[in-house]
Structure formats: C-alpha cells, structure tokens
C-alpha cells in the first residue's frame, strides 16, 4: 500500500521533469572518430557502452577517476584528443572557463530527436551539454532503530539531532549518525548543502566576491559540528564509500547520503538482511526553520569538444545520443541511476532524489568560481570540525583562501 503511494508520488514528480518529444533511434552509423573521457562509475560505463555500439568508425572511451585532471588538456589541442567529455554541473565549469566545448544547438536540431527539453543544459541561451542522469543527497534511516527509539523519521536536521541523542542515550548505538564528512570535497559538499538549507548566498550578487562569513555560515558550521558529535570519531576520513560500508555493517541509524548509493544499500547480496529490510529512504531534510531542503541537485551529462571537425562533432553527438537511447534502458541499465531519459521508471531506491526535485531543492551552482570556494571550504573548515578554532575564524580563513585563489584565476582584482 505505502509502496504504491510512493510510486505514484515518484511518477508524478518525475513527470514534472518531463516534456517528451518522441523517441526514435536505432541502428547507429557514424563516419568519424569518437573519443570519450569521463568519470568511472557504472552508469557512465553504460552510456559509453551504448556509444561504442555505433558502427562505421572507432569509438574510444577513457573512463577514469582522474578524468578532471586530463579532460581540459585532452580537449585543448587541435584537433582535440577527446571529442566528448562526460561531466556534472560542477565540472562543466572548467570546460566552459577554458573554452573547449562547443554549442550544440544545430546538432540538437538535426539529431536530437527524443531528447526532453529538461535534458538540454543551456548557458547564455546556447545548449552546451546534454544531461542524462540526476542525483541528490537525502535522508536514509533504519526503520527498526527509529521504532525502538520511539521516534519518527526526521524532517529537519534539528529533529535528526534530537533523534540521535535518544538513540545514543537508550544505548541502541554508539554513533547513530553517518555522513560523508571526509576532509576535502565531501565535507565542503556538506557545508554547501547546509548553507543552502539555511538560505545562505555564497557570493555577493553578480560578482565573484565571497560572502559566507555571516550568521548563516556560523549556524551551518555549528550544525555540522553538532551532527559530527554523533558520528564515528573517524568521520573526517569517511567518504561516501566508507559511510556506505558503515551503513551496510549496521553501525548507523540515520544519514544524509547520495541517491545514487541507495541501490547497493538495499541490495540483499551486498548488505546484511536486517539492514536491507529496514533501510528506508526519506525526503531531504530542512534546517533552521527554512523551507529549502539542505541538499543540492546534480546532473551528469555529456559535451562535445570545440577543437574538432564538424564531421567528428556530428559523429560524437550521434554516438552519445545512442548511449542514452531510451531503448537501451533495460533491466540492467535502469537501476544504475535516476535517468533523465524518456522511459525511465523510478524504483524504490530513487524516491529520495525525486523528493529532492519535488521539494524544489537548489541545483549545485554552476558558477565559474564555485569550485574554488568548494576547495577552500574543504581544507579550511577542518580545523573548526576538530575544535581547534571557532566558527568565525574558520569562515574568515575560507574567505581568505578563496580570495587568494580567485585573484589568481582573474575572477577578482
């Protein structure tokens, strides 16, 4: 019964995204080389495999965790080594900043049948990328533990804190909360979520000048620290992998985790039976009385290089379109991600991401200098999390580190 209602909710939430044109596309023939660079996880492998099906010319794919270190260099030459880079909303910025990807409007008009309007990433009126999957962090909880503690699924981070205290006091778990708080990118991501949840603005409007050293920034840090008190003391070394492992081992009762990680948590082959049975997905939480969920929406998509011949660009576009062809969404590919592709049927592991979209969560900012702030946050708020300095000092440090970096990149004078 509950499952059916959930499915209905999900379907309608996803339907909001959708404005389908129509799907077509089988038999993919290309006449020039295609070379893809991208990150390394199953959903991206599935897309690259689809591109490789194309006949007529060679399709190469270099999928590696180091993709961000090589994609700009590999697309800067003329002709570029890579004709397509698979990126996300945070990483498209580097390609835009270095001016190595081309507008796709003409190719979309010619070969873009079946693309939904929301798949087109437009910057300044030009289509620069085609999105194929979405992701977001949201609440996951263990229904059995919450039941034993006599609490309901938290709607806000304040409730989560209170719940954690009850679980700990009742002796149900030593460290009831989990989270990807690893120093660096992960911790900065959690700050970003929480700061958005508090309604904060990262920059003075229309400029690259940072402004996080304010009451909202302090509240954000205080909340992160309060949560970390209920986490495994090693939390600063826990990335998503380690946090998922803690969850699977049954050590954690509540956490804010990526939607893309839910499948494995609920897979009986990968986790202990009790954990699988009681792992329940919740909506993203809000914080500080705000209505915007403290999470960010993400998309992954592909781009086409600028410094290649038009024939190569066309071949690349066709091959990548085949990679995200709705016909390829079979039982194997379907559960790999929250696909933005026509014909995607959300499963029980996808309700959290759908909820984030429904609750009007804010997409991770696609700003040229957001990455610099992210790096600065990742290294400078660590001291605060360890109790070595106060929140205001930490935020001042972040601003100083960001300003030095932004000056170097020419964003600030």
Map the footprint of other proteins across residues 179-208, applying CB under 8 A. 182-184, 206-208
DSSP 335: G
Cα separation, 392 vs 272, whole angstroms: 43
76 within 8 A of 98, measured Cβ to Cβ: yes
Map the footprint of other proteins across residues 123-162, applying CB under 8 A. 123-125, 131, 134
* Residue with Cβ nearer other proteins (27 or 125): 125
Told to check if 297 binds other proteins by CB under 8 A, we report yes
Q: What are phi and psi of 284, to 5 degrees?
A: -60, 145
Of 178, 88, 85, the closest CA to residue 133 belongs to 88
Angle between the N-to-C axes of helices 391-408 and 370-380, in degrees from 0 to 180, rounded to the nearest 10: 140
CB of 143 to other proteins, least distance (A): 20
CB of 50 to other proteins, least distance (A): 17
Told to check if 379 binds other proteins by CB under 8 A, we report yes
SS3 state of residue 47: helix
* Residue with Cβ nearer other proteins (211 or 379): 379
Map the footprint of other proteins across residues 16-75, applying CB under 8 A. 17, 39-42, 60-66, 68-70, 72-74
Told to check if 292 binds other proteins by CB under 8 A, we report no
Told to check if 387 binds other proteins by CB under 8 A, we report no
CB of 329 to other proteins, least distance (A): 17
With contacts defined by CB under 8 A, name the span among 20-28, 164-172, 262-270, 320-328 that binds other proteins.
262-270
Of 135, 147, 137, the closest CA to residue 179 belongs to 137
Told to check if 239 binds other proteins by CB under 8 A, we report yes
- Total of chain residues touching other proteins, rule CB under 8 A: 103
* Residue with Cβ nearer other proteins (151 or 395): 395
* Residue with Cβ nearer other proteins (147 or 390): 390
CB of 4 to other proteins, least distance (A): 26
Site string for other proteins, 323-362 (x = CB under 8 A): -----------------x----------------x---x-
229 within 8 A of 176, measured Cβ to Cβ: no
Contacts of 56 (CB under 8 A, 6+ apart): 29, 30, 31
- What secondary structure does DSSP assign to 122-176, as a single string? EETTEEEEEEEEEEEEEEEEEHHHHHHHT-PPPSBHHHHHHHHHHHHHTTS-SS-
Map the footprint of other proteins across residues 79-108, applying CB under 8 A. 80-81, 89-91, 93-94, 96-97, 99
In this structure, what token pair is assigned to residue 373?
């702030």
CB of 90 to other proteins, least distance (A): 5
* Residue with Cβ nearer other proteins (157 or 411): 411
Map the footprint of other proteins across residues 203-222, applying CB under 8 A. 206-208
H/E stretch holding 235:
none
**Distance set, CA 86 to CA 168, 305, 393 (Å):** 43, 11, 38
């Amino acid at each position: 019964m509950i499952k059916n209602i959930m499915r209905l909710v999900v379907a309608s939430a996803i339907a909001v995204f959708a404005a389908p044109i129509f799907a077509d596309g089988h038999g993919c023939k290309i006449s020039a080389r295609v070379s893809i660079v991208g990150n390394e996880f199953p959903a991206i492998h599935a897309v690259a495999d689809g591109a490789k099906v194309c006949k007529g010319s060679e399709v190469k794919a270099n999928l590696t965790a180091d993709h961000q270190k090589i994609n700009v260099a590999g697309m800067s030459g003329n002709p570029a080594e890579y004709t397509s880079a698979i990126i996300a909303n945070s990483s498209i910025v580097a390609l835009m900043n270095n001016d190595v990807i081309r507008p796709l409007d003409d190719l979309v008009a010619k070969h873009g049948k079946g693309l939904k309007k929301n798949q087109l990433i437009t910057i300044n009126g030009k289509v620069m990328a085609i999105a194929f999957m979405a992701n977001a962090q949201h609440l996951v909880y263990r229904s059995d533990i919450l039941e034993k503690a006599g609490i309901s699924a938290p709607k806000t981070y304040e409730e989560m804190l209170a719940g954690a205290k009850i679980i700990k006091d009742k002796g149900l778990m030593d460290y009831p909360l989990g989270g990807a708080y690893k120093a660096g990118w992960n911790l900065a991501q959690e700050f970003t979520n929480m700061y958005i949840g508090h309604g904060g603005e990262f920059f003075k409007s229309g400029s690259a000048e940072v402004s996080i050293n304010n009451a909202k920034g302090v509240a954000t840090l205080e909340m992160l620290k309060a949560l970390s008190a209920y986490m495994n003391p090693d939390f600063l070394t826990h990335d998503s992998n380690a946090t998922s492992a803690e969850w699977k081992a049954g050590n954690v009762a509540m956490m804010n985790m990526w939607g893309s990680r839910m499948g494995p948590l609920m897979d009986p082959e990968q986790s202990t039976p009790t954990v699988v049975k009681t792992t329940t997905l919740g909506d993203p939480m809000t914080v500080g009385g705000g209505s915007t969920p403290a999470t960010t929406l993400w998309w992954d998509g592909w781009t086409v290089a600028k410094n290649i011949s038009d024939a190569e660009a066309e071949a690349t576009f066709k091959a990548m379109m085949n990679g995200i062809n709705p016909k390829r969404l079979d039982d194997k590919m379907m559960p790999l991600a929250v696909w933005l592709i026509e014909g995607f049927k959300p499963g029980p592991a996808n309700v959290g991401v759908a909820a984030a979209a429904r609750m009007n969560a804010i997409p991770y900012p696609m700003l040229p200098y957001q990455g610099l702030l992210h790096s600065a946050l990742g290294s400078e708020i660590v001291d605060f999390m360890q109790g070595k300095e106060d929140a205001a000092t930490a935020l001042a440090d972040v601003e100083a580190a960001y300003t030095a970096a932004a000056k170097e990149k020419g964003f600030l004078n």
